[in-house]
Amino acid sequence: MAILGNLISRSLRIRKKFTFKLGTPRQYQLQVLRRLLGKAKDTQFGQHYKFQEILNSPNITVQYRSTIPVHNYNKMHAEWWHKCLEGQANVSWPEKIKYFALSSGTSESASKHIPVTRDMLKNVKKVGVKQLYSMANFNIPPKSFTKGILMLGGTTALYEKGDYYEGDMSGIQAKNIPRWFRRFYKPGGNISRKPNWEQRIKLIVRKAKQWDVGTVCGVPAWVQIVLAEIIKYHGVKNIHEIWPNLAVYIHGGVSFEPYRDSFQKLLGKPINFIETYMASEGSFGFQARPGVRGIKLVLNTGIFYEFIPFNEENFTADGEVKPNPKAYMIHEVVEDVEYAVMLSTCAGAWRYLIGDVVKFTSVKEHEIVIVGRTKQFLSLCGEHMSIDNMNKAIDMVQKKMGITIREFTVAGFPYDGLFAHRWYIGTDDVNVDSNRVREIIDQTLSEVNDDYAVERTSALKELFVEVLPNEVFIDYMRAKGKEGAMNKFPRVMKGDKLKDWEQFLSVKSV
């Protein structure tokens, strides 16, 4: 196995030395768009929007944008995807959909059904291979390539619904993983098929010593919980006493920065932290350069990207897109501007707003950071507070106060004729001074967000901080049926969700 690890590591390094002829980002994306339109031109969607005429147009992108309206999930489902669930074939992609990924439901619909096609599964595999090649850029010991890969996703059990199966995207991927990968895959089929998150975790914790894990994948909040439980159960000081060859943690879904310091406490030695960008709608990219904050988008594997500036011109205060928003291709974007991501994919999504808001850290390398969600910005009075701002404030609280914050959420509300924010902070540290937390949050936000600083002198009258045990956040997710795996606690609470959260807290305190 050591020889195999050296061979893999050496082959990746050798491949890195070769120079491959590359197209420009614009060329890649135009090629993808033409292939998508060509393959789907005879579907119901393609016939309705006359894809062949778009393909024949002298300016394909202009014609495409002027012909196809912007869709969110609700619109795509109501007009097209419901037909796929009813068993119709060739609706928005030329096949009968066999799999539907159930989203975590942090926004819009509580239970989204996202079509997963054969071409999309191929896309996910291609992006995975490209990420493997990029590992040559990181300082990963050769033997780590022969060790187990612990994937803490949702249950891999899929539920048969007549003509199709539905379940977590990680379950659909697991059902379609190559045979050669199964020897590395942990916790293995028997455990990963358990539908109950707590049951899966208990089995993982008990069996941890039987595995030699080199890579861990998953959402930071839940991976932290699992690693801490393993350390506690086996009576060791850190996870490297159980898995000495652990060298890579692949994470995504939320910003890792608020978790970084507390995560380091679980380790016995440094490891590589590598960010990926995946969703139920596909696999979009990964961190390709160590020490660089940015996810490199993959531009030639079946996804056509458009970027809508996330501003008052294109979006309402509630994060709803306005009619006919201005959209840009990959070669038209600029750095440090917030964009909502819009996709056309080989799963039959067309000009589809995924809900993420990003900034380009490098246009040349087409690298992005995710700074928020279209529905999870907080701007009651013009403060334009993004999740990225919130993460920086929480990170500063942890550093200055020496505490560990595992979860948090923020709500805005009218207050004394003006407005206020209330922060709910989840920590298991005792005797936390909520006033000091408030001061650090307020100061940090004023430094990183000019709009916030201005509004704190006028319309944003007050900040409140409520410190809660971290178990409260876990109990809420459990009560909503969203415990574990790929589920993320919403960073901003609004409307009915805020009422539900407040009701949960009031009952909890009785």
Q: What would the pLDDT profile of 183-227 be if each residue is shown by its tens digit?
A: 888 888 888 888 888 888 899 999 999 999 999 998 888 898 899
Domains and CATH numbers, the chain: 1-302+346-372 (3.40.50.12780), 387-509 (3.30.300)
What is the distance between the terminal CA atoms of the chain, rounded to a whole angstrom?
Answer: 57
* Highest-pLDDT range among 28-37, 279-288, 405-414: 28-37
Looking at 45-59, 120-134, 254-268, 424-438, which range is the least confident one? 254-268
Mean pLDDT of 256-282: 90
Q: How far is CA 273 from CA 215, 220, 388, in A?
A: 10, 11, 19
Q: In what order do the strands lie in the sheet with 99-102?
A: 113-116, 99-102, 164-167, 159-161
Q: Quickly tell me which residue has 């310091």 as its tokens.
A: 261
pLDDT of residue 3: 43
Report the distance separating Cα 393 and Cα 257, nearest Å: 11
What does the DSSP 8-state code read for residue 235? T
Mean pLDDT of 39-51: 98
Binning pLDDT at 50, 70 and 90, where does residue 5 land? very low
Binning pLDDT at 50, 70 and 90, where does residue 312 land? confident
* CA nearest to 227, candidates 273, 189, 263, 279: 263
- 9 has pLDDT over 80: no
- 7 has pLDDT over 70: no
* CA nearest to 469, candidates 506, 439, 429, 423: 429
CA of residue 121 relative to chain centroid, distance: 17
Looking at 4-13, 58-67, 370-379, which range is the least confident one? 4-13
- 8 has pLDDT over 80: no
Helix boundaries (H) for 295-386: none
Average pLDDT, the chain: 88
Report the distance separating Cα 235 and Cα 231, nearest Å: 6
Given the DSSP bridges, would you call strands 99-102 and 164-167 parallel, antiparallel or unpaired? parallel
- 259 has pLDDT over 90: no
Give the residue, 49 or 406, on which the prediction is more confident: 49
pLDDT of residue 462: 94
- 285 has pLDDT over 80: yes
- 447 has pLDDT over 90: yes
Mean pLDDT of 237-258: 90
